[in-house]
Amino acid sequence: GWLVSGNPAKLGAALKTTFPNTAALSELFVKLDEIGIKVEPADKASKRLIIDLPFDLERMKQHYESVATLLQHFDYLTVTVRHPETKALFSTLTLQQEKATVSFVFADGQPAWSATCNGEWAEDGAEWEGETANQRLLAWSAGGTFAADVELEGQARLLGLSMPAVWFPSMTWHVRIEPGSVHVTCLKVGDSPAAARDIDSLESVLVNIGSAARAALEGAG
């Protein structure tokens, strides 16, 4: 249907007709008529839904200037959601070149962890067979909790200055959701890939991103 037709204009028009209120809000951030959606195999037992969302920075600045400023700090940012034990992949979000690309893994029409283990593809999804088959699908635990590891990696710059973008240290966070609360624990912070001469630039960039993030949250509130 129109959802995976491959025709951005047709998709945008359908979204506006089917979800008019959501589309009106979304148009303040992204170019609906240029959204792309496709489905491709993730492994032999699941598929990956990929959504390309081109930002409309000019329009965003008119309504949420602080959010637009925050996004412009990033030359590249990727967020990866993995199973906390097997490291199987569920979702990735990439910000690059004024566009967000988000992907999700599905099996039998339900959100699922991909057939990977410790970052390696498994043949025929072997590790999800037998006793572990039910662990493949995303679900709340018997105790009503959900946990995942979130990996962040990115490259950012100071705005308005002729300075090269700087990679900041990769980070891994453990996120645990339970009724009424969310717990976030930093598991790992990688070494800065920046050269020694760039450390001051990295610190300046992080300070500016922090300020932009606070402004974005205040503006969204």
pLDDT value for 117:
47
More confident residue, 38 or 119: 38
Furthest C-alpha separation in the chain:
57
d(CA 219, CA 71): 14
The model's confidence at residue 36, banded by pLDDT at 50, 70 and 90, is confident
**Cα torsion through 99, 105, 106, 107, rounded to 10:** 160
DSSP H or E stretch at residue 15: helix 8-18
pLDDT value for 210:
57
Residue 173 has pLDDT above 90, yes or no: yes
CA angle 212, 215, 218 (to 5 degrees): 150
pLDDT value for 13:
79
